[in-house]
Every structure is written in C-alpha cells, then in structure tokens.
Amino acid sequence: MDKVAQMLEVEQNNFARSLNKKVQDFRDQMQQPETRREFDLYDPDALKKDQPARVCDNDPRCGPASLQKLAGEDLNKQEREKLQEQLTKKWLTEQKQERDRVLTQRKYADNLFDKKRVEMDDRALHLAHLEEECRKSINLATENFNRVQAAEMAERQRLQKQQEEDDNYAEIYNHLTGDILTENPASAISCFGPHRVVTDRWKGMSPEQQAEIRRIQELQRQENQRLKEEARQLEEEWEKQRTLAARAGMVVEQEEETFKQQLRKRLDTYNQQLAREIGR
C-alpha cells in the first residue's frame, strides 16, 4: 500500500507541475502586457513616447476640444476618419482576439478538468478494487484461522476421547491383572518372612508374565508422553496462528485508513489548486 501511495503522489506532483508550466507558457505567449488595449494607461515609457500637443496641421490628435485648431480647420478629415476607422477595427479585432483567448483558455481548463475527473474516477475504481482484494485476503485469513481452530478442537476432542478410552482400558487391565483376579503372588507372602508363602493363595508367576507386564507399562508411559507432546505442539501452533491473523488484520486496517486519508487530502488540495487556476 505504501508503494501505491508513493506512486500516486509522484504522479499527482508531475501532473500539477505540467499544468502550471502550460499555464505559464500560455501567459508568456498570449497575454503580453503590450497587447492589451489599456496598456497606454500604465505604460512605464509613456512620457518618453509622448509628443507635443500639435506636431503639424495633419496631426490626428488635434480634435475640436484640443484648442489647437480653429473652427473650420479640419484639413485632415479624410485621414482622421480613416484613422478612426482603423482604430475602431483594431479595437474590435483586439476585443475579438481577447474574447477568443478567454474562450480558448476556458475550454482548455474545462478539458483539463474533465480529464482529471475521469482520471480520478479511474483511480477511485482502482482503489475500490484494491480495497476489495484486501477484504478478500482478510476473509481468507479468517477462514483459514477458523479452519485451524476447528481442526485443533476436533483433534483435542479426539485426544480426549482416546485418553478416556486408554484410561478405561487401563482400568480394565488393572482389574484383570489385579491381585484378586490374578491371585497376585505378593498376596501369598507370609507374615513370617518373604521366604515363606501362604499355600492356599500362591499360584506362582512365570518370568514371561513379569516381562509382559513391564512391556505394557513401558508402552503406556510412552503413549502418555506422546499425547502430552502432541497436545503441547497443537497449543503452540494455535497460539501462533491466532497472533499472525490478529497482526495481519491490524496492519491491513491501519494501511487502508492511512491511504484513504492521504487520498482525500490530495483530492482536496488538487481541487483547491484547480479552482484557483480556473478563477484566474
């Protein structure tokens, strides 16, 4: 997510830089101060370009209110009317050019706004797709976590049932191999010493029987050790999966929130900048 945000930020900066350069180039080429109709009002070289009140009899600047000509001295009427017509045509041409420049600039700004809006819509769709992918990943991780928990619970129940069955078998075996049913030779030991036995209780025990008892006891001990080790491993694996799932969920949620905040901030900044450029 950080890499996507960085790429979007770089692209946004490049677009803003390109837009500012195009606007400045348009101003430098098409909006020079000398081309404005009212430039003579604030021309810094106006005094240098100024002329006397009357240069000659054909001076077109000397009108009726100039007090430079007497009544009936309109000797340059044709030139004056021609000059007035040329000035009027020039003013109309300049007004038309100014209006065309404004329309062109407005059309250019509208096109840029439409393109940027389409681009932002595409980015919004892309971000929605990324959000859907993140949601799918979270759901998949949750399903895997639940599946692991269910498997662990089933395995725990199986082990518990196996333990109960083993305990029952052990209890049955203990009864079967107890002193009462097997007539344990130890019960036939006489109180007068270990070298003497009670004759009505003693049945004797062979070495094979003794070895078999010791072998079964060893198997039981190994089985109990194995069950304890399996239970410990399952518990450790379950704890590890739960921690990883929780951490992944928190990281994805934080990155998604940070990315949304950055995107909203960039959109607000861009809209404000675009509004200022259009307002100019």
pLDDT in tens, 109-155: 888 888 888 888 888 888 888 888 888 888 888 888 888 888 889 88
**Token output for 153:** 């619970």
Residue 15: closest CA among 277, 280, 279 = 277
Q: What is the structure's pLDDT at 187?
A: 64
Q: What is the structure's pLDDT at 72?
A: 61
Q: What is the structure's pLDDT at 49?
A: 74
Let me know the angle formed at the C-alpha of 232 by 227 and 237, rounded to the nearest 5 degrees.
125
Q: What is the structure's pLDDT at 210?
A: 74
What does the alpha-carbon distance between residue 113 and residue 268 come to, in Å, rounded to a whole number?
14
Task: Provide the H-helix boundaries in the chain.
Answer: 2-30, 46-49, 77-176, 179-182, 207-279
Distances (CA, A) of 109 to 19, 31, 269, 276, 279: 10, 16, 17, 11, 10
Residues in a beta bridge with 197: 189
Q: What is the structure's pLDDT at 134?
A: 84
Q: What is the structure's pLDDT at 6?
A: 74
Taking only Cα atoms into account, the Rg of the chain, rounded to an integer number of angstroms, comes to 51
Q: What is the structure's pLDDT at 64?
A: 64
DSSP string, 5-27: HHHHHHHHHHHHHHHHHHHHHHH
Distance from first CA to last CA of the chain, Å, rounded? 37
What does the alpha-carbon distance between residue 239 and residue 226 come to, in Å, rounded to a whole number?
20
Residues in a beta bridge with 193: 190
Read off the pLDDT of residues 171-205 as tens digits, 9 standing for 90 and up.
887 767 766 566 566 666 666 666 565 666 656 65
For the chain, list residues with pLDDT below 70: 1-4, 51-76, 175, 178-206, 209, 279-280
